[in-house]
Structure 1
Amino acid sequence: MPSYAPNHSSIWRTSVTITKALRDAEEAGPFINRLKDAKTEKLLMDINRSNEV
């Protein structure tokens, strides 16, 4: 009868994959916020330049 229990290496690989996915998701938040801030700053600078002309 075959064993359906995962072996230690597959558990380890799954743990590493989940850990990396969680880390990437957490690191993406601040990066996306910085991107939004940069876009907002650029928009405000463009509006300010058009008002000066």
Structure 2
Amino acid sequence: MATNSYVSNHSSAWKTSIAITKTLRDAEETGRFINRLQGAKAEKLMMDVNRSNEV
């Protein structure tokens, strides 16, 4: 019986570890996506300003 409990606890620890890893990865990817989006918005704004200065 002790072995089954150990295996169950070990399995739970792995599942928790994987879930935490995925959560951290998703948070990092979200941060990168937001930075790219803000960069694209800034670039578009700069292009629009340049166009209005050329006219």
Does the pair score TM above 0.5? yes
Aligned twin of 1:45: 47
The question of 1:20 aligning with 2:17 is answered no
The residue type paired with residue 32 of structure 1 is I
Q: Which structure shows the bigger proportion of residues in helix conformation?
A: 2
Please report the TM-score for the alignment, with normalisation by the length of structure 2. 0.67
Name segments (4+ residues, structure 1) moved above 3 Å. none
Please report the TM-score for the alignment, with normalisation by the length of structure 1. 0.69
How much is the aligned-residue C-alpha RMSD, in angstroms?
A: 1.7
Unmatched 5+ stretches in structure 2: 1-7
Q: CA deviation at 1:41?
A: 0.4
Which of 20, 28, 36 is residue 34 of structure 1 equivalent to? Answer: 36
- Equivalenced residue count is 48
